[in-house]
Each structure stands twice: as C-alpha cells, then as structure tokens.
Structure 1
Amino acid sequence: MRITENSETMITDFDPISSQPKLEQHADLSQIHMQLAVFNRSRLDPKLPSKNWKQEIGEEAFIRILENEMLHAELDEIQSRLVDMPLDPKKFMEWFEELRLTGPGQNDPLFDWLEESANHEEMTWFIRQEVAGEAGFEDLTALTQVKMPTRPKLELARNYWDEMGRGNEKGMHGPMLSNLAHELQIEPPSLQETMPEAAALGNIMMAMALNRRYAYHSAGALGVIELTAPGRALKVYHGLKRLGLSPEAQRYYLIHSSLDIKHSEAWNAEVLFPLVTENPALAKPIAEGALLRLNAGKRCFERYRKELWGSSH
C-alpha cells in the first residue's frame, strides 16, 4: 500500500511480523512530510459515506501509524533542550515563557528583512508558503479541548470564539488570511511548490491535535504559537504596509501582532499553569509540543531564507 502512486520508496508496505508500516532506516523526513501533506489536505473535509469505507479505514490506519512514527522522529530532535526543564509549576512557566526569547527560530533575521526589504514578489512567495503550512488554529483548538479539565477547556473555548470572530464572519481569522492571499493573487500552492518545511508545520500540528495521546503536546504547541507569533506578525504587517497592500489585506497580521499577546497571557495562566499544577508530569509533553512547533518553524525560516536570499546574504 502506498500513500501516493508516484511516491518515492521510503516506507515498506507492511512489516510481516507486526503488520505495521515502518520507516526505512535512512528515510528522508522531509519526503515523509510531503507524503503526509497529501493525506492532510483533505483529511478533515466533511464527506459522504462511501462503499469503500473498509479500504479507506485501512489506508487511514496506515497513515496514522506513519504519522506517529514521524512524531517520534521529530521528538528525538528536541530532547537535548529538555535537560534543564523544571517541573515546579511556577518555574516551568518561567522556562516556557523564556522560549519567546531563546526558543528555536526566535529572532530569525528573515522577519527584519520582510519588514524592511522584501519586494512584492518575495513577500508573495513567503505568504504562499504560510498558506501552505496553515492548519487552522481554530480547528486545532477545537480538537485539543476535547475532554480537557474545565478550567483549560473554558480558556480554549474563549480562544476559539476569538478565532471565529465572536460569531461575526468578518472577524474570523481564517478568512482574513484568505483575503490577503486573494489580494496577492495567490492560489493554494501545489505540493510541488510547497517547501517540505512548510508542510511539516501543518503535519506536526495536526498530528498532535488528532491523536489524543498527544493532546497535552498540542496544548503546548498552540500555546507557544500565541507566545511567539506577535513579534513576527508585527514585522510582516509592517512589510505589507510598506508594499502598499490594502488595510483589509494587512489585517490578519495586524490582529495577530496584538491580540495574540492577550491570548498568550490567558493561555499560560488558564491552560498550561493549571494543567502542570494539577499534574507536574504534564510539563514534559507540554514542553515537547512547544519545542516541536518551534523547531519546525526554525527549519522553515532557514529554508525560506535560502530560497529567497540564495547566496546574496
């Protein structure tokens, strides 16, 4: 069984002993992310019942095992950063909030360049990749909150309501990004045009939100997005404004440069701190989720600079 008919050979169909797909020893993680992106593009779309439901479930089981293998590989990359992580709730929150300054990918020079120097074509390329890696914060929040304790669940609900424009279609965050893409005449990029690093952003976030064994990882990852996004969003907003994009097109990044600061404060106080206070063992999965997201972002920024700057910087 293959995920795509033309995918490169990286995964055995099934292990004859365990009946589970296995990553080959030297599998390229970037290619695995591209394979996962094929499935994730329509994974959550509402569908009608199919006569082929048994085959579909079998294919989904295959991809979900591959997805968890991917998460294990990604987790291996960030373990060294957990050595000095404290378990005391207050000290843990100090460690977590410090990620805004010292976490992987923070203060990347890409965003100063987008703010001050990128031309229209370069900014459009960047936004295309942002669209490709967007997994839908509101949907990820909705998936993560399932069966969470009351206090975190209520904050996740408040966050979701903000993402949904508090019931006003014009205030929904997702369509704001679509408005920007429309003004830049951006169509959703094909897989051939999508950087594997951008695909990985969405894959990792969706994997954590959809697999309940990673629910606390998802809470940490979503929390660190709120923590670290405002500074980058402000720089992109300034770049869009410099290039003469309309206020409507600028709005997505303008809102996230300010609203996410309040979201982060509430997320840390009402979601992460209560979870770790109730059970200090949750500090590690929350931290792992945050570092998974930051490390994936770091790889994105580095690849974007390589593609946009070439050897000129």
Structure 2
Amino acid sequence: MPEVGGSKGLTVPGDPFLSTVDRVCAWLGSAPEKVDALSGAERSRVLGEVADINAAAASGDDGALYAQQYLLDRIYQLYTKIPQGQTAEGSVVVYEIARLLETATAAAQDALIEPGLIEEAPTEPREYLTWLKNTARNHRVYKHPYYHDFIRNAASHDDLRNYVMQESVVDGRFDDLLAMMQVGTAGAAKMEIAANFWDEMGNGDHAQVHTHLFNKIYEVFEISEDELSRSLTATSLLNGNLAVMLCRQRALYAEAVGFLGMTEWMAPDRFVQVVHAWERLGLPEVGITYHKLHITIDSQHAQGWFHNVVLPAAESADMRRAIARGILWRLNSSAAYLDERIPSVAA
C-alpha cells in the first residue's frame, strides 16, 4: 500500500495517481463555488486523471485501487462527518469526480459476480431467502481461515490491533449507515431498521451506544484518529465505501438491504473468534464488550432483517435481483479484504 503522507497529503514522488488525489483532497476544504470556478481546461484535466485512476484500478494496479478508494472515502466524509470549517459539499465538480469513482467501483464489483448466478435465484420469497443463505454458505469467504485459523489461534497483540483499525470502516459507524438507509422506507422494513438502530444507540443508554463501545477498543490499543486514517488499506476503504454508497443512494436501497443484512448475518461467527483471541491474549475486558454484545444481537438482527425486510421485498423481481447483488458485493469485497490480511500475517 502506498504510504500516506500525513497532514500534507498523500503525494509520493513519481506517483501521478496520488498526486491527483492530493490535489482533489485539497479542494475539499474550500467553498463549493470556489471549486466550481475552476477553468474548463483544469476541470477536464482532473476528470481525465480520475478516469485514468479508474482504468488502472480496473486493470489490477494496486496503487490505483488505493488512490481510487482513498479519494472516494475522503469525498464521502463531506456527507458523513460534521465539518470543523468550510467544505466543498455541494460542489458540482466534486460530485462529478465522485460519480466517476462510484461508477468504476460498482462496475468492478459487478465484474466479480459469477455470470448467471443472480438469474438462478428462485422467485418464491422463502425459497429465495434460502437460496441467499446457501449462496453465502457456499462462498469462499464463509468461515474464512483468517478468522477461524489466524485470529482465533495465532493473532498477536499487534495483529488484533491492526484488525480493529481495518474493521472501523463498517463496524465503527454502523449506526450512521442504518440512519442513512432508512430514509424513504415504510412499514415493517422501517420498523426493523429502527429497532436495529435503537439497539445500536444502546436503547437510550449513552454508555451502551455501540459506537461508544467500539471506541473503547481504540483506547485499549491507543489508536489515534490520525493513525487510523493512515493505516486503512485499499480493500478496507473499499468495504467502507461500498457501505456508504449503497446506504446513501435511494436507487441502491435494495443493494443496501443485501449488503448490511449479510454483514450482520456473518458477524456473530466472526466475532466469536475475535473474543477467543482477545481472551487468549489477556486484553482488558472493556475492549471486547462490543464484540460480545454483537454475537447475540447481530444473530437476532439478521433474522429480523431477513424476515421483515428481505422477505417482503422479495415479492418484486427487481428487488430480488438488487438484494442478491448487494449480498454478492459484500461477500466478494469481504473475501478480498480477508485474503489481503492472510499474506501480511504469513510474512
């Protein structure tokens, strides 16, 4: 992974991708009208450079993939964080850049889906739900050795520390993802998302808010916000960006249903291994409360999600296709992320 250049940006000598990212990131702290006042030539040049990043990422260039996902993450922060000053939120140019990045990211995920797989899905909702679960069970990410072999039995203090930093892109903001995706919903689906969200809010007890509990892990490992930002890999950023993309865009609501539903369904088995590793290493109990809670809670949430959100939606052919797409995006992106962890561990 290219080294992040701290507060001055990402620029690495001789790396044109990160030079482009650095330049665009510098705009994100400017007023939208200032960014949109760029000359037509400058605008076209930057859009062309972003297209080049996307093309290189699609061809397998790891540096380009990191640049692509890092830039998309920074743009998404305009919409997911309360700013401390002026930002470019609302800029037409920034929107154009984001759409180029999102379109390329979605195309890359679609290319990973086995041709014809989604078309095999049954049309009857309960059979469809069974098919979704079986598709996940038959995927190589299910019970991935990263969790069942490495994390459980071999991970060191530093390995677990790196693990929680990478997990922050989804686990560390699951409440916000739910809040974004519920907009426009109604009936049983809205109530299920609301119940899930309220659990994330600690059922009204600030000390039990799940993001607050997750942050306790950072305290155990003494992880600063700056280190967290610098340590995220391309595949970690990708998983976080997919979650934000699907939850923000109303046209991708059904994909979000699949993506988040599969995230919760897989979590309990994975977290059992994390708890085992935590206790094996004798780490402070305060840091593992989040994972212990979610072993039970996510199992309940997943079942409620499947029956109150997925099943009613599965009456529609378009919804069935989109939910399956979101589930496969989650399975494939998670597999890439976990595969990346294994070589770094073996080294």
TM-score normalised by the shorter chain: which range applies? 0.7 to 0.9
C-alpha distance in 1, partners of 2:171/2:195?
21
1:59 aligns with 2:94: yes
After superposition, the Cα gap between the structure-2 partners of 1:99 and 1:136, relative to the gap in structure 1 and judged at 3 Å, is farther
C-alpha distance in 1, partners of 2:167/2:254?
25
Provide the TM-score with structure 1 as the length reference: 0.87
Partner of 1:255: 293
Query: Are 2:79 and 2:89, in contact at CA under 8 Å, matched by a contact in 1?
Result: no
After superposition, the Cα gap between the structure-2 partners of 1:9 and 1:100, relative to the gap in structure 1 and judged at 3 Å, is closer
Q: 1:228 aligns with which of 253, 266, 274?
A: 266
Q: 2:120 aligns with which of 76, 84, 99?
A: 84
Q: 2:68 aligns with which of 32, 42, 52?
A: 32
Partner of 1:101: 137
1:154-233 matched pairs, under 5 angstroms: 154-188=191-225, 189-233=227-271
C-alpha distance in 1, partners of 2:88/2:236?
32
State the 1:228 CA deviation: 0.9
After superposition, the Cα gap between the structure-2 partners of 1:171 and 1:214, relative to the gap in structure 1 and judged at 3 Å, is same
Query: Are 1:135 and 1:206, in contact at CA under 8 Å, matched by a contact in 2?
Result: no
Stretch moving more, 301-310 or 103-112: 103-112
C-alpha distance in 1, partners of 2:241/2:135?
22
Query: Are 2:78 and 2:88, in contact at CA under 8 Å, matched by a contact in 1?
Result: no
C-alpha distance in 1, partners of 2:82/2:276?
37
Query: Are 1:217 and 1:290, in contact at CA under 8 Å, matched by a contact in 2?
Result: yes
C-alpha distance in 1, partners of 2:318/2:87?
44
After superposition, the Cα gap between the structure-2 partners of 1:19 and 1:117, relative to the gap in structure 1 and judged at 3 Å, is closer
1:264 aligns with 2:272: no
Partner of 1:8: 16
Q: Which runs of 5+ in 1 are unaligned?
A: none
Stretch moving more, 127-136 or 181-190: 127-136
C-alpha distance in 1, partners of 2:74/2:159?
26
C-alpha distance in 2, partners of 1:262/1:52?
40
1:288 aligns with 2:318: no
Report the count of equivalent residues.
Answer: 304
Query: Are 2:165 and 2:228, in contact at CA under 8 Å, matched by a contact in 1?
Result: no
Corresponding residue SS for 2:120: coil
1:302 aligns with 2:339: yes
Query: Are 1:135 and 1:202, in contact at CA under 8 Å, matched by a contact in 2?
Result: no
Of Structure 1 and Structure 2, which has the larger fraction of its residues in helix?
A: 2
Q: Which has the higher contact order (CA 8 A, sep 6+)?
A: 1
State the 1:47 CA deviation: 3.7
C-alpha distance in 2, partners of 1:57/1:98?
43
Query: Are 2:216 and 2:286, in contact at CA under 8 Å, matched by a contact in 1?
Result: yes
Query: Are 1:88 and 1:280, in contact at CA under 8 Å, matched by a contact in 2?
Result: no
1:74 aligns with 2:109: yes
